[in-house]
Amino acid sequence: METILQSIEDWFREMLVSGIMDYLGNTFDSVNNRVAQISSDVGMSPAGFSPSVFGMIQNLSENVIMPIAGIILTFIACYELIQLVISHNNLANFETWIFFKWIFKTFVAVTVITNTMNITMAVFDVTQHVINSAGGLIGGSTSIDSSTLAGMRGTLEAMDIGPLLSIFLQAFVVQFLIYVLSALIFVIVYARMIEIYLMVSLAPIPFATFGNSQQSHIGQNYLRSLFALGFQGFLIMVCVGIYAVLIQSVAFSSDIIGSLWGVMGYTILLAFTLFKTGAVSKSILHAH
């Protein structure tokens, strides 16, 4: 009878250990894959992230928004000419050189608006170069090697049924929460790229305001916002590097329950900091 009970206990223990190891493997794989995907996604330019979406945005910008920007630029150019003419004591002190000044400013404004897409992509080319350079300098990995998992299995096999059942339930909860956090991280990273596409689609309108000193702050703030979105990717890479260092500090083999909730806590921290990167980047560059 004792032999039968021992066999049942061993079978139940093996089932719990196998289930816990499956949960742990799936949890760590989910974290590793999501973090690796973050590094890959933020290192892409808007054109490389989704060429089909970028093509649609470019067509909308050039064919729908550009005519509106042209009307705004025409109004600003006419307003600027009137201001130049009447600024010299209501034509009492008239100078012909102001027309050359107006022609030059209008030429520059037209050149800027016709090269809107090139300028916006140049902004992201610069920031992507910074992000890719940071990726080569930020070390660390979030992966858990097979020897660590083997050590965890040995620790589990030496436990009683009660603690194993507790770890099994906690591992299930942590795995579910990690999946939720992975989805949240996915949303944060992809929302940044969608925001970039939205900004690029309306680029001609703020670029049309550079021809007038009183309205140029619109275009200047737009450029700051573009750089803020670009350098947000750099801050995301910094968050990933910090997360990798923190994950490697978790003692996986000696304290399994603490390790599980440690990974959970660090992943929550990663999601929270990724959510804050946009506000931090805009605050640094004074974009609003």
Summarize pLDDT for 155-186 with one digit per residue, the tens: 777 777 777 777 778 777 877 877 887 788 88
Give pTM, 2 decimals. 0.80
Query: Mean pLDDT lowest for which of 18-27, 192-201, 213-222?
Result: 18-27
> How many Å apart are CA 150 and CA 6, to the nearest integer?
24
Which long-range contacts does 57-61 make (Cβ < 8 Å, 24+ apart)?
Answer: 57/197, 57/200, 57/201, 58/117, 58/200, 60/201, 61/116, 61/117, 61/200, 61/201, 61/202, 61/203, 61/204
| Per-residue confidence band for 214, with pLDDT thresholds at 50, 70 and 90 | confident
Average of pLDDT values for 5-10? 66
Summarize pLDDT for 113-159 with one digit per residue, the tens: 889 999 999 998 888 888 888 766 565 555 555 566 666 776 777 77
Q: Sign of dihedral through CA atoms 175, 181, 183, 185?
A: negative
Q: How is residue 180 written in tokens?
A: 């939720």
